[in-house]
Amino acid sequence: MLKQSGLGIAITGSGSATPAAVVDNHRLATLVETSDEWITTRTGIKSRRLATPEESLSAIATSAAKNAIAMAGITPADLDLIILATSTSDDLFGSACKIQAELGASRAVAFDLTAACSGFVFGLVTAAQFIRTGVYQNVLLIGADILSRWVDWSDRRTCVLFGDGAGAVVLQANESDRLLGFEIRSDGTQNNCLNLAYQGQSKELIDGVSIAQGTYQPITMNGKEVYRFAVQKVPEVIEKALFRANLTVEEVDWLLLHQANQRILDAVANRLKIPTHKVISNMAHYGNTSAASIPIALDEAVRQGKIQPGDIIATSGFGAGLTWGAAIFQWAR
């Protein structure tokens, strides 16, 4: 089953970090017209963590990264590459270099990657290309988002869904290849379903030359369309990745989806005929943490001893873009 080559890839460490402040559904119901009952039955979310003004994206991402590096048994100086998957950098020029400095990973090249809630899976595939081509051996991949800074807190259709956090993995060159298959996709024709878009006011700079200056506007979402998209495309892309891995659905030990909505997880598992006990879910505690949701859930399941060495994990991210993707990997530690 495993491809034998000197240019394989293995995930050798995971880590996560979430802000301390917890806001449960009851407290949200004091902010917008909603209820614990509605949020729980429609989404499975019970509470979420929110970053305080003092907590930066790079700080929580660095904490998650340190935990992943420790589990992998390497030092920051061993890192060749740092990829930060995020839509909510502290700085529009990117936050990966700040994390590189905070870690003291002086040899590593660092950059941000944006693919919304698919960012972790897209980052995994990107990291794999650098390792498989023999360019780099040790890669840190972080998925981190602070969407609370970009949610419209007066819009009950979106504000109840999101939370903040960071998760990270270390990927290393490995004798046998533990990334067994993947497939990533984009469809920009549905771009207007989920946006955090820039809006500028036209301003005449000099005679005959106008520019647009403004800011990013809070998240807008067509929930029904995104739901429909996820339930249709996620099973398809997982099946494609499994085909590439030459594995059957029955051989999957864990289904690890982007934690957007429990109903999406249930519907995807149902379509793939994957039993509930194989579905990893922690969104009740964190809500949708965008690019961070998969690595946070992975790290929790590993540290709880649920995921064991040799287990086959089918993971899938999906979201704005629209973007979606799946990766099948074997836990190596």
Contact criterion met (CB below 8 Å) for 117 and 234: no
Is there a catalytic annotation at residue 288? yes
Of 180 and 226, nearer to ligand UT7 (C-beta) is 226
Q: Segment contacting ligand UT7 (CB under 6 A): 16-24, 56-64, 201-209, 217-225?
A: 217-225
**Catalytic residue chosen out of the listed positions 258, 261, 282, 285:** 258
> Is 258 known to be catalytic?
yes
Q: Does 86 bind ligand UT7 (CB under 6 A)?
A: no
Q: Which of 53, 54, 92, 224 binds ligand UT7 (CB under 6 A)?
A: 224
Any idea how long the chain is? 333
Give the range of 34-42, 49-57, 91-99, 269-277 binding ligand UT7 by CB under 6 A: 34-42
d(CA 240, CA 326): 8
Query: How many residues line the site for ligand UT7 (CB under 6 A)?
Result: 19
Q: Give CA separation, 3 vs 176, 226, 238, 251, 270, in Å.
A: 6, 36, 19, 17, 30
Smallest distance, ligand UT7 to C-beta of residue 190, A: 12
Tokens at residue 317, please?
């991210």
Any contact of residue 218 with ligand UT7 (CB under 6 A)?
no
Q: Is 174:332 a contact under the CB 8 Å cutoff?
A: yes
Of 25, 288, 315, 323, which one interacts with ligand UT7 (CB under 6 A)?
288
| 94 CB neighbour count, 10 Å cutoff | 18
The answer to whether the CB of 164 falls within 8 A of the CB of 148 is: yes
Residues facing 325 on adjacent strands: 184, 317
Q: Give the nearest distance from C-beta 223 to ligand UT7 in angstroms.
A: 3
Q: What is the distance in angstroms between the CA of the first residue and the CA of the last residue of the chain?
A: 18
Does position 144 bind ligand UT7 by CB under 6 A?
Answer: no
The residues, any chain, with a CB within 8 Å of residue 168's CB and separated by 6 or more, are 14, 15, 16, 61, 64, 65, 67, 68, 140, 141, 142, 143, 295, 299
Binding of ligand UT7 by 185 (CB under 6 A): no
Window contacting ligand UT7 (CB under 6 A); options: 9-17, 38-46, 99-107, 163-171: 38-46
- Catalytic annotation, pick one of 25, 67, 97, 117: 117
Question: Smaller CB distance to ligand UT7: residue 176 or 232?
Answer: 232
> Looking at the annotation, which residues are catalytic?
117, 258, 288
- Residue ranges in contact with ligand UT7 by CB under 6 A: 34, 38-39, 42-43, 117, 156-157, 160, 221, 223-224, 226-227, 230, 260-261, 288, 319
